[in-house]
Amino acid sequence: MVIIMQAGAPEAEVEAVIQAVEKAGFRPFVNPGVERKVIALLGKMDAEKAELVDHFSALPGVERVQLISEPYKLASRRSHPEPSLVEVGPVTIGGTQLAVIAGPCSVENRDQMVDTAIAVRNAGANLLRGGAFKPRTSPYSFQGLGVEGLEILAEARRITGLPIVTEVLHPGDLDAISQYADVIQIGARNMQNFRLLQDVGTAGKPVILKRNPGCRVRDLLMASEYIMLEGNTNVVLCERGITTFEDATRYTMDVNAIPVIKRLSHLPVIADPSHAAGDWRYVSAIALSAIAAGADGIMVEVHLDPSMALSDGPQSLRPDKFSELMRAAAQVAAAVGREVVLPG
Ligand code: PEP
Ligand code: MN
């Protein structure tokens, strides 16, 4: 159930509604909308539902009370009709301008990270990615530089001004990651690592939550609920390809998921064509399709020399291809009423 307050309802009326909600045995969660506040009621809803609707509807300042049938209360568009904006330093994710997150799969060394950061910034990226803790299928593969990788990312941010996005694998690393990262990424493998989601919900940083390739959209939305319930509503969802019978690409980008999520949820949605394709030759086409479908941004892996990459080389774009993608992205974005700002 959500209680939608009248536009401009005074704080005292909002407060009185919150108290009434608590008195009825629910936990209130206030979504600070631009025009009007929406109070979500968290807790078990039983047979008295109809009476509660009447009770809350009669309170001063309440415009209407709506029952929510979706199990995801906080991520649901019904609880927050306007799209959410997630602010990361100078970048707003979910507004007209698209977020372009680019960088290597892994932080490998200082020069690789700094040179890539400069290249992607010069091409128009507005956020920098790089994994310091890497989830690898094989324990014998490169696992990331850990805290040293975070320090290198911080240096790349100092030099380029780009905020940094990096992945957390384990709650024990969260404090260190929070000291450096501007955005914490939960990778596809950890989408349903619920304790990690809860911990990230208390870390005070925006979160990018990637969809697990074997999970449905509604599972992704339920996973976001774990983060939001801890008080962190700065969540960006990321479609990065799902498992299908098709093996011509690594995964299959579920372009459908983008408009579906935008309808079901107020949270921004971005797309990662690199992990969906697994092959650099398809990355640009898939990225453009995601923008056309209404994505709020893209996340693209870029490497100076993909043949030498310590992870995900085959799907990484060289900087020149990334620049080409950015120019095409600006045109596709314009065609759907969005914007990619190219430098110079
Ligand atoms: C990554 O972003 O490098 C990554 C490991 O992605 P995913 O979790 O989507 O596989
Ligand atoms: Mn990768």
pTM value surpassing 0.85:
yes
Range(s) for CATH 3.20.20.70 in the chain?
86-335
Residues 211-263 have pLDDT tens digits of 999 999 999 999 999 999 999 999 999 999 999 999 999 999 999 999 999 99
Q: Is 187 in the pocket of ligand 1 (CB under 6 A)?
A: yes
Cα–Cα distances in Å, from 264 out to 69, 83, 133, 162, 268? 12, 11, 32, 31, 11
Ligand 1 atom 9, closest CA: 188
Residue to mutate (ligand 1; options 240, 300, 310, 317; most atoms within 8 A of CB): 240
Q: Is 303 in the pocket of ligand 1 (CB under 6 A)?
A: no
Range(s) for CATH 3.30.70.1140 in the chain?
2-66
Instruction: Report whether pLDDT(189) > 90.
Output: yes
| 35-52 average pLDDT score | 82
Q: Please work out, in degrees rounded to the nearest 5, the angle formed at the alpha carbon of residue 233 by the alpha carbons of 231 and 239.
A: 135
Instruction: Report whether pLDDT(270) > 70.
Output: yes
Instruction: Report whether pLDDT(36) > 90.
Output: no
Lowest pLDDT segment from 72-86, 108-122, 128-142, 314-328: 72-86
Under the banding of pLDDT at 50, 70 and 90, the label for residue 44 is confident
What pLDDT does 138 receive?
96
Architecture of domain 86-335: Alpha-Beta Barrel (3.20)
Under the banding of pLDDT at 50, 70 and 90, the label for residue 100 is very high
Residues 64-99 have pLDDT tens digits of 998 887 889 999 998 888 999 999 999 999 999 999
What is the average pLDDT value for the chain, to the nearest integer?
A: 96
Q: Is 275 in the pocket of ligand 1 (CB under 6 A)?
A: yes
Find out whether 282 and 257 touch, Cβ atoms under 8 Å. Answer: no
Instruction: Report whether pLDDT(163) > 90.
Output: yes
Q: Which two tokens stand for residue 93?
A: 């994710």
- The ligand 1 atom at the shortest distance from the C-alpha of residue 187 is 8
Find out whether 134 and 144 touch, Cβ atoms under 8 Å. Answer: yes
Instruction: Report whether pLDDT(133) > 80.
Output: yes
Instruction: Report whether pLDDT(140) > 80.
Output: yes
Residues shown for the chain: 344
Q: Is 80 in the pocket of ligand 1 (CB under 6 A)?
A: no
Residue to mutate (ligand 1; options 142, 191, 193, 210; most atoms within 8 A of CB): 210
Of 153, 175, 167, 58, the residue nearest 108 (C-alpha): 153
Instruction: Report whether pLDDT(46) > 80.
Output: no
Q: What is the 3-state secondary structure (H, E, C) of the chain?
A: CEEEECCCCCHHHHHHHHHHHHHCCCEEEEEECCCCEEEEEECCCCCCHHHHHHHHHCCCCEEEEECCCCCCCCCEHHHCCCCCCEEECCEEECCCECEEEEECCECCCHHHHHHHHHHHHHHCCCEEECECCCCCCCCCCCCCCCHHHHHHHHHHHHHHCCCEEEEECCHHHHHHHHHHCCEEEECHHHCCCHHHHHHHHCCCCCEEEECCCCCCHHHHHHHHHHHHHCCCCCEEEEECCECCCCCCCCCECCCCHHHHHHHHECCCEEECHHHHHCCHHHHHHHHHHHHHCCCCEEEEEECCCHHHCCCCHHHCECHHHHHHHHHHHHHHHHHCCCECCCCC
Task: Please give the residue that has the higher pLDDT: either 81 or 151.
Answer: 151
Instruction: Report whether pLDDT(265) > 90.
Output: yes
Ligand 1 atom 3, closest CA: 105
Instruction: Report whether pLDDT(35) > 90.
Output: no
- The ligand 1 atom at the shortest distance from the C-alpha of residue 299 is 2
Instruction: Report whether pLDDT(118) > 90.
Output: yes
Domain 2-66 part of CATH 3.30.70.1140:
yes
Q: Which two tokens stand for residue 215?
A: 């999970």
- The ligand 1 atom at the shortest distance from the C-alpha of residue 188 is 8
What pLDDT does 47 receive?
67
Residues 197-214 have pLDDT tens digits of 999 999 999 999 999 999
